[in-house]
Structure 1
């Protein structure tokens, strides 16, 4: 083993024990959350302190087209300097040889962080909390579907075939029998996660046909975003071993619930470790209410990040396991902001609006940014909601175009997340939206062709 491998994370060391490392995948997240980078021989990586990729990877839409976001100098594709964060070194156990993945951070030629790199955006928000003597803690929940292979975009997505030889059934939430249907896939997910050093807090069957949820233990936001970034690839690889796909689309099947990435937040006082949301006698503090107030005030403009695609807005359906407004309540899953049952020291605020299709770095950053603004502005929330929030009015954007309009006007959010990131994000997402609007859908052909 070469010197650089001597201080790798414990799981990576265990994975390589007695084996020869063949390859290192040098990766970084783009705006959609796709892993971009280079695979290099391990011997070459040992001699590298950095590598280069063009900054244009952050101007690319989900379809592979480009947004005109390059700035005043034009589309010249400057090289970024990508430096490895060896604390992220993780096995790629699905590969045919012994491979590690390493997440990199992006800098310009002057050593400044690239402002539109998603991991840097989250780190920027973390620094704002740290400057106040605060330490944010998050716990993401990942919902996804296991579906039958689908190579024809015109064909409806269908549930995968379970172990019993029958398609996965809907409305079997929390059923252990339903989980057993996917046993071989779940076994591989556990094995891959163990090889990568990730601790799964639990796997449950959700309400959709073939829909599962994985909960991760709470911790540092950057570390947890790294894990979700890794997990999406891990789960896809596990599914493909068993002749099915894993999809993180917000709404892959029309009549089934959508998939969310619920984000639980708490904020600790750095010096003492005290939860800012709990007072000396365990009561709810002003900071607790201010954080909720910040979510209510700023989440509408952040929806463009939490729900980044046209499909994302199909998830926000009344009475369909996704919120339609920004009400808050204790232990009430119909509201967009939920306070789970907990002891005072573990008091937290759950944002239920983020879709599983969002970039984990950006989704967590945007959610934390809203809470930060609430703390700084000393926002007060509305009165706690009681009852079924689906009976209330919707107060979040219903389409991507409306969400982007709100995003463009959200100057307070731009200051927290970075103005350059906000500009690039808007340009890229609008290019994506315009591309979508140029496509004529089957619904239009079926109902408009001969009827209007």
Structure 2
């Protein structure tokens, strides 16, 4: 076993044990959360300590176009990619023996590239650490299995189940509904086990072919890495069984959208005690300040939690998406929910993020809101909502353009996330929004062509 393989996590070691490793995929997340990088023979990887990619990958839109560089010239200098061996994991769907390794992006002087999503999340986690805090998160991932869609002009429809019927909606928590596509679920479990990931639970959600996977709580960067990997893993499992997995916020008309709910707690870095609970188990002022930070600053990060024009189709009343800044105990109609738990597990669930967000940026944005509330330490949250909050007054941006404007106007959030990152993100997203506005939809052709 060579030196670098000795740094691998146990699951990766087990995967390659007794086998000849063929290939290593050196990957990073771009702004959208797409895996970018390069693959190389394992023998070549063993001889190199770093690799190179142009920094322009962070200026690429989801359509493959390029935004203007707002923080420098468009000369495409190379970044240095440094492997984080703790992230090494199998790629069990490949034909040969392959490992994936997430890399950190540095400039040529060794500084973190400020608009690399993993670095943005690390920046926020380090702000907590400087105060003696360690944030803990537990994400929930919702997604749809859908029939193969090779023509973008055709609507997305549910997949065919083992019964020969298409997956049905309004079957939340139904075990028989999950069994309809059990082979896909089996492969998800198998891939996750080979990659060393622990799934806390899988359940049927309310949409046709909509599934939720819950992950155990832990370190924000580690959990973001896992979601980054899980998206690829789930897509590969679906493709094996003649369907697609999609993380679009709203893929099917008339169906609920897919969220990435994020549970937050914060522990004292020295004692390991949850700062949201006092010695008697009661709620602390810090807990209230964290909630207040969410309420005050979430509008400024909706562009990160809902990053595409499609994202705002999820924010529709009466479709199980809480589009408000209310908070409540065990109240799923509020955007901010305090789940039932013991004092040691007291946490706040942010229910606003869509599953289409980049996991590094979605978690960073949510943590940034709570951090600003903790740092302020004065502002209390508004009174708890004890009724139905679904019909609360609109307080959030309702389209990507407004969300980007709100983000641009928030000096505190730009400081926490990093001004260079915010500038690059805004440039990419405004480019995407401009492209979308040039597309004429079927609705417009149907209702406006002959009627106006």
TM-score of the superposed pair, with normalisation by structure 2? 0.99
1:40 corresponds to: 40
* Shift, 1:71, TM fit: 3.0
Other structure's SS at 1:389 match: coil
Other structure's SS at 2:296 match: helix
2:209 corresponds to: 210
How big is each residue's C-alpha offset from its partner over 1:379-435, in whole Å with a ceiling of 9 and x where there is no partner?
211000011101321211111111011011011001111000000001110000000
Superposed counterparts of 1:55-66, under 5 Å: 55-66=55-66
Kept after mapping to 2: 8 A contact 1:59/1:70 = no
For 2:391 and 2:128, the matched residues in 1 are separated by 36
1:256 aligned onto 2:261: no
Other structure's SS at 2:293 match: helix
Kept after mapping to 2: 8 A contact 1:123/1:222 = yes
For 2:114 and 2:45, the matched residues in 1 are separated by 26
Kept after mapping to 2: 8 A contact 1:54/1:80 = yes
1:385 corresponds to: 385
* Shift, 1:2, TM fit: 2.2
2:314 corresponds to: 315
1:287 corresponds to: 286
2:429 corresponds to: 429
* Shift, 1:70, TM fit: 5.0
Other structure's SS at 1:276 match: coil
Kept after mapping to 2: 8 A contact 1:56/1:70 = no
Moved more, 382-391 or 255-264: 382-391
1:146 corresponds to: 145
2:299 corresponds to: 300
1:128 aligned onto 2:127: yes
For 1:435 and 1:319, the matched residues in 2 are separated by 30
1:98 corresponds to: 97
Superposed counterparts of 1:76-91, under 5 Å: 76-91=75-90
TM-score of the superposed pair, with normalisation by structure 1? 0.99
For 1:408 and 1:99, the matched residues in 2 are separated by 42
1:22 corresponds to: 22
How big is each residue's C-alpha offset from its partner over 1:176-202, in whole Å with a ceiling of 9 and x where there is no partner?
000111100000000000000000000
1:174 corresponds to: 173
For 2:334 and 2:420, the matched residues in 1 are separated by 33
2:136 corresponds to: 137
1:416 corresponds to: 416
Kept after mapping to 2: 8 A contact 1:174/1:204 = yes
Other structure's SS at 2:422 match: helix
For 1:27 and 1:276, the matched residues in 2 are separated by 35
1:341 corresponds to: 340
* Shift, 1:324, TM fit: 1.4
1:449 aligned onto 2:449: yes
For 2:257 and 2:251, the matched residues in 1 are separated by 7
Q: CA RMSD in A?
A: 0.7
